[in-house]
Amino acid sequence: MKTIKGPAIFLAQFLGDKPPFDTLDDICKWAAGLGFKGVQIPTWAGNYFDLQKAAESKTYADEIKGKVASYGLEITELSTHLQGQLVAVHPAYDDLFDGFAPAEYHKNPKARQEWAVQQLKYAAKASNNLGLNAHVTFSGALLWPTVYPWPQRPAGLVETGFTELANRWKPILDVFDENGVDVCYEIHPGEDLHDGISYEMFLEKVNNHSRANLLYDPSHFVLQCLDYLDFIDIYHERIKMFHVKDAEFNPTGRQGVYGGYQNWVERAGRFRSLGDGQVDFKSIFSKMAQYNFGGWAVMEWECAMKHPEDGAREGAIFIKDHIIRVTEKAFDDFAGTGSDEEFNKKVLGIS
């Protein structure tokens, strides 16, 4: 068994234009001061990290790695959530998702997609240059508007949608494979890969590609009423990344899973700071240890009520206290009497 690495923090929700969140140096110093050991870096914030430069310049990648290390931290992974979303966009969302791309690609879905694909390829090489072996992203979605279909879905629509999604991702997965990096899809509502079944359909379409793996985040499963512990039992061989994020689901006679168009505070299902929700993290960390997960436990903070800096401070302690330092010996070794093949046969009565 392996001991999970951590605690680490996903920086996306903390980036800002005021200290200590306005530069990579300052935010790393802040994170280290809270007790974090690693940072997961979003790649769309150019003032923190130049993705293309990290892909094309090993020297620059080493400089970034050294800068983070100077604060006693490691880079856990890179993230392309926003760019991955743009690999596959249903036309209904074109205007909403244009904001995820540079202005020169707005109102041009084809050019926007080409830009996103190149961003993912840069991420593969940048991860390699940084010595990373896993990367997190979103799958994008062509089918999401039909997730709860009315009118009914035309026959063959899901098949066509997943075939197209796979065709778009297969060349990207191949580039990641060339660079020795796993693509870890965050299974998330709004993505075509939003639960185990949809992931399996995609996996079949990419011929069980060895790099098409998973980021495990139980919060999204709580809000779907999906068994997040059983998910680990089923998919542990494909889980290569771990977001530690809490959530709660409190349905009423007025609203349930869909939330009634309410904002986050008024929804039946909502994300919470670590320890404030309903996720059974003791069981999750136990299963991660059981299945030999050797990656990072990365806090992702999303809470509609608690201040983010309080969530981060508490989250570092929460993760540290939940990481199981795995044993190197069996608890009953003290009672061992030794054995050899002949002794074992004697015990079984077959000598």
The full set of domains in the chain, from first to last, is: 5-348 (3.20.20.150)
Average pLDDT, stretch 325-330? Answer: 86
299-310 pLDDT tens trace: 999 999 999 999
Q: Once rounded to an integer, what is the mean pLDDT over residues 99-103?
A: 97
Judged against a pLDDT cut of 90, whether residue 235 lies above it is answered with yes
How many Cβ atoms from other residues are within 10 Å of residue 260's Cβ? 11
- Mean pLDDT of all residues in 77-88: 98
Q: Can you give the pLDDT at residue 79?
A: 98
User: pLDDT tens-digit profile of 3-31?
Assistant: 999 999 999 999 999 999 999 999 999 99
Q: Give the pLDDT confidence of 154-212 residue by residue, as tens digits.
A: 999 999 999 999 999 999 999 999 999 999 999 999 999 999 999 999 999 999 999 99
b (16+ CB within 10 A) / e for 175-200: bbbebebbbbbbbbeebbbbbbebbe
Contact in structure between 84 and 45 (CB atoms under 8 Å): no
pLDDT of the residue at 333: 73
pLDDT for 19 equals 96
Considering only residues 101 and 332, tell me which one the structure prediction assigns the higher pLDDT.
101
| Secondary structure of the chain as H, E, C letters | CCCCEEEEEECHHHCCCCCCCCCHHHHHHHHHHCCCCEEEEECCCCCCCCHHHHHHCHHHHHHHHHHHHCCCCEEEEEEEHHHHHCCCECHHHHHHHHHHCCHHHCCCHHHHHHHHHHHHHHHHHHHHHHCCCEEEECCCECCHHHCCCCCCCCCCHHHHHHHHHHHHHHHHHHHHHHCCCEEEEECCCCCCCCCHHHHHHHHHHCCCCCCEEEEECHHHHHCCCCCHHHHHHHHCCCEEEEEECEEEECCCCCCCCCHHHCCHHHCCEEEECCCCCCCCHHHHHHHHHHCCCCCEEEECCCCCCCCHHHHHHHHHHHHHHHCCCCCCCCCCHHHCCCCCHHHHHHHHCCC
CA distance 5 to 325: 10
Structure tokens at 132: 């990373």
pTM score of the predicted model:
0.95
DSSP-derived pairing of the beta strands 38-42 and 296-299: unpaired
How far apart, in whole angstroms, are the C-alpha atoms of residue 72 and residue 68?
7
Instruction: Please say whether the beta carbons of 162 and 201 come within 8 A.
Output: yes
Q: Which residues contact 27 (CB under 8 A, 6 or more apart)?
A: 11, 14, 15, 20, 21, 39, 48
pLDDT tens-digit map of 245-283: 999 999 999 999 999 999 999 999 999 999 999 999 999
Check if the beta carbon of residue 346 is closer than 8 Å to that of residue 339.
no
Which residues does residue 221 pair with via DSSP β-bridges, in sequence order?
A: none
Let me know how long the chain is.
351
Q: Band the pLDDT of 329: cuts 50, 70, 90.
A: confident
pLDDT score recorded for residue 330? 78
Torsion over CA of 230, 317, 278 and 200, rounded to 10 degrees? -30
Please state, in angstroms and rounded to a whole number, the distance separating the CA atoms of residues 319 and 22.
Answer: 25
Quote the tokens at residue 206. Answer: 């990419």
**φ and ψ at residue 197, rounded to 5 degrees:** -65, -45
Predicted confidence (pLDDT) at residue 1 exceeds the cutoff of 90: no
Of 250, 313, 303, 231, nearest to 272 by C-alpha is 303
The pLDDT score that the predictor gives to residue 338 is 77
Percentage above 70 pLDDT, the chain = 100
